[in-house]
Amino acid sequence: MVTGQVRAFVRRHPAVRHATRQLRIRLPRRLGGLDPARVPPRVRRFSLMLPRRADGPAGGPDELRISVPGDLSIPARLHRYGLAGYRPDALACFLAALETVRPGAVLDVGANVGVYAALAAARSGRDVYAFEPCPQAARAARAIAADNGLRMEVVDLALSNHTGSARLHLSATSDATNSLTPGFRPEVGRIPVRVGQLSHWREEAGAAPAIIKIDTGSTEPDVVAGGLEVLRRFRPWVLCEVLPGRGIGDRLTALLDPLDYHWYRLDGPPPHAPRPSITDGPGRRGRMWLFAPSPAPDRLWTRARQWREALDRCR
């Protein structure tokens, strides 16, 4: 327990983490030393190329300036591969939805550093909200928005099916896999976070959600359960990760079927065929799905193909 608490403390404080690594790179490997070439920088600075659809609007920035703590996993991946290497099938559908669905707000639930939220702010005039309970990731999302003049609000809140507080389990494998679910990943510690329901937040904020992305480390059905009133009233389009082997697809199907939603697995080039149910799928990694309040129109898939081609150039 003491070791876990120490690791959690180091994980939450970048200055302590950096000092610890500087000490370890001076140690022999047999004593726990680190390879200096594999130690991330204290601050990661780079420019992230953004996609533009052929014949699409010319507004918004061509790139984002990124300056965040060096060991955050998603910025590290973006730095190495660009947006072309970060879920391009899901991002293409998300960008197409920004252009084709009715007016309304965009909600990035489980935002981490806010990739989807930043794209929505850069490529649309919609109100954008990024929900992220982990303080370090939320600070990075705010920094990205401020450094690039993006109009998006970061909300320090974990959305679920109840209101109050909970413990966020900090993943030992990646800061992108923190979760409210105990045992979801090997952990280095836990931190208390605020928890709320989407329906309650919407009522207080006065927002009218049109697009919602959900990626919360196995608690996606809880997010949907806490927002059923929003789905009934506003009929937003939802992009949601479905992890294998946890019954998440069955739970989501049970929640959404009475609302007459349609579901599409975003895997490979569009168009995507509707599925009879939301399935977990093979493999260890999750897949993003589109939950649509009405059958997806052809123009959505046409735009998605165009955005996919644009994302392939963002390397």
Q: Return averaged pLDDT per consecutive 10 residues of the chain, 315 residues in all.
A: 52 57 57 58 95 87 96 96 96 97 98 98 97 97 98 98 97 93 92 98 98 97 98 98 91 97 93 90 71 97 96 95
In this structure, which long-range contacts are made by residues 61-65, counting pairs with CB atoms below 8 Å and at least 24 apart in sequence?
Answer: 61/122, 61/148, 64/118, 64/122, 64/144, 64/147, 64/148, 65/147, 65/148
Query: What pLDDT shows up at residue 1?
Result: 43
Query: What pLDDT shows up at residue 58?
Result: 81
- CA 12 – CA 6 distance, rounded (Å): 10
- What is the H or E stretch that residue 264 is in? strand 262-265
Query: What pLDDT shows up at residue 230?
Result: 98
* Domain annotation for the chain: domains and CATH numbers: 1-39 (no CATH), 41-312 (3.40.50.150)
Query: What pLDDT shows up at residue 245?
Result: 82
Query: Which residue is listed with tokens 């919609």?
Result: 126
- Partners of 45 in the beta sheet? 67
Tell me the CA end-to-end span of the chain in Å, nearest whole number.
Answer: 42
Query: Which residue is listed with tokens 């920088």?
Result: 41
- CA 203 – CA 139 distance, rounded (Å): 25
- CA 45 – CA 6 distance, rounded (Å): 28
Measured in degrees and rounded to the nearest 5, phi and psi for residue 97 equal -65, -35
Tell me the three state secondary structure of residue 4: helix
